[in-house]
Structure formats: C-alpha cells, structure tokens
Amino acid sequence: MGNITLHTLTALKQAGKKFAVLTAYDACFSHLISTAGVEVMLVGDSLGMVLQGNDSTLPVTVEEMAYHTAAVKAGNQGSMIMADLPFMSYGTPEQAMDSAAALMSAGAHIIKLEGAAWLDETITLLAERGVPVCAHLGLTPQAVNVLGGYKVQGRENNAAKQMIEDAVRLEQAGAAMLLLECVPSLLAGEITKAVDIPVIGIGAGAETDAQVLVMHDMLGITPGRSPKFVKNFMTDSGDIAGAFEAYADEVKAGTFPGTEHGFE
C-alpha cells in the first residue's frame, strides 16, 4: 500500500475511489489494520468508552491520547494516523497548539477537532504551523450534553444548510479533511460534493469519500446494542485480520454501508 499521505487521499477522491478508516488504540491491532488495506487509522477519544469503560468520551486526556497514538505508531505499517484532540483541549487557539503538538510528537499525521465555524481561526493557525486538521461535523460526541444525546444532526432544512456552509467555510480555513457523523445520507452526499477535500462518514450514508467505524463495533465485541450504522464483519470472517480486510474491501467496493446503515 505504501505510506498513505494527504496527497494519496485527495487523489483517491479526485479519481472517485473510496478509502477505509478504522479506529486503533495499540500496536498489535495497528499492525493488523495497517496491513489489511485500511488507509487511515483513527486513534479516537472513543477509547474513553471502549477501553476505559466510561459512558462518554469526555474524561479522556491529552496525555492518554498521546500514549495511545505512540502505541499505534509503533505497530503502523504505512497507514495515515489521525488522532483526536479530546474534550476541552482546544478551547483557545493557544491550547489547541499545545495539544496538537503533543499528539503530532507522539506520531499523529493529522489531528481531528469537533466543531463548526468557530474553529476557523484555530484550524488556520494549526495548518500554517504544519498540523493538518480533520474537522468533525454532525453528531459531535464531545458536545453530547448540549445536543441532548446521541441524535442524528442536520435533518431540518436550516440545520442542513448551515452544515453545508460550515463545511465549505472549514475547508476555506484550511481543514484537510472532514468527518460527518450521524448525518442524513442525502445531506452527506451534498457536503461531499461541495468540498474538494476528502470527507469521511460514519452513519452518513455511502456517498462520502470514506467510511470509519470503531474497531470494537465492527468486530462485534462492544457490549450492548450496536448503532444502526454498524456492521459486524466478524460474522463471515474466519479471524480478526479477515474482518479488517473484508471491511476495507467492502468500503472500497461501495457495498458498505448499505441503505440500512444510513439515516434519512
């Protein structure tokens, strides 16, 4: 696969080819995922829930994110590593610089922030200093208490229009990628066409340039009920490595997600 860069992913979008993203938190799984055809590994603050057992991502610290990013780097075989800046670690541009520096030093190639147009200045400053940014729109788990729970975002016309405007504005500010979570499939498709940068989806239909899932979800080992947008890839795979390969293959073939995994 070779070393994946932003240029690689932008070229895939321009060619109409899809790419796969999957969360990773340690060296062992990093090795398996990065050799299975998955272009991007996300060191997600989801570790607060799937590794630490918290009921949200909010308790995760920058130090914990840096620790897991370094572990993922140790096992990586050429995938791009994206790392989340955790809750309240980028409240000001100055704080964002310090937090991003910690994750980039640990091995991240790009960092991810949750939020809309208020991030403009922060994204511009980070990009100018050599820190690529993925902006996360839609359901932003760090804002779960403001959003009133884990709900689909952008269903109302005004909200949909605002999300498209935010996406364009964030690209203009210097965002290198976007991630849309729990957004109606049609809206996600419109946003993907409205920007030139790659768009990753989770619960956002099949029209985005890429898909991401939490590793534990797609292996079927997360306790409780799975979200609608999740598929268990272990069901038809003989082992974990096979499940990762099947996920990457289905994303690139456009067979995952199906209509049953999206929202109207």
Mark the binding-site residues for Mg(2+), compressed into ranges: 45, 84, 114
Has 181 been annotated as catalytic?
yes
| H-helix or E-strand spanning residue 182 | none
35/53 Cα distance (integer angstroms): 28
Residue 164 sits at φ, ψ, to 5 deg, of -65, -45
Axis crossing angle, helix 240-253 with helix 27-34, rounded to the nearest 10: 40
Q: What is the dihedral of CA 190, 191, 194, 195, to 10 degrees?
A: -150
Kindly name the residue from 181, 190, 207, 245 that is annotated as catalytic: 181
Task: Judge residue 3's burial from the number of C-beta atoms within 10 Å of its C-beta, 0-12 exposed, 13-18 middle, 19 or more buried.
Answer: exposed
The residues carrying an active-site annotation are: 181
